[in-house]
Structure formats: C-alpha cells, structure tokens
Amino acid sequence: MKLLVVLTLAALPLYCSAGSGCQLLEDVIYKVINPGVSTDQLKQSIQQFIPDNATANALDEFKQCYLQQSNDTLSKIQMLTVN
C-alpha cells in the first residue's frame, strides 16, 4: 500500500504539468482571459463551435465577465492556467 502511495505521489507532478492536452482549449482559455483580445476576435477564432446567436451572446457575456476584472486578478487567473 505504501508503494502505491509513493508511486501516485511521484506521478502526480508529471500529470499536473502535462496541461490539458488540447492546444485549442488552451488557446481559447488564453483568449478569454486576455483583455487585449476582443469578443469579436474570440468569436472569429472559434466560429466553428458557435452554432447559433444564443451561443454567441453567451460567449459575449462570458468574455465581458473577464473584461470587468482588474489586471491583477487576470494575471492570477493566468497563473492558474499555466502548464
């Protein structure tokens, strides 16, 4: 049992540093958090995943939530998403 715990603890840093494994997802997260990226730029980059106006409006509201945050808060959020 102790060996299992040791192996799990040894593998955990490797697993956590692997990222999401999906570069597209990581790019979208970066664009949502980055205040320099407009909502139109965000929507253009993921246009293929926006089926209707309701989804586009939800994405606008989601991005607006991040635009209302301070730069300090955004930098802390970006630190959480770093691989």
Domain that holds residue 54: 21-81
Residue 35 within any structural domain of the chain: yes
Whole-structure pTM value: 0.64
Give the total number of structural domains in the chain. 1
Residue 31 within any structural domain of the chain: yes
The pLDDT value recorded for residue 40 is 92
Task: Write the pLDDT tens digit of every residue in 5-53.
Answer: 545 555 545 545 555 567 888 888 888 888 889 999 989 998 998 899 9
Task: Write the pLDDT tens digit of every residue in 42-82.
Answer: 899 989 988 999 989 988 988 888 888 888 888 888 777 76
Residue 4 within any structural domain of the chain: no
Helices (H), 1-83: 2-16, 23-33, 39-45, 53-67, 71-81
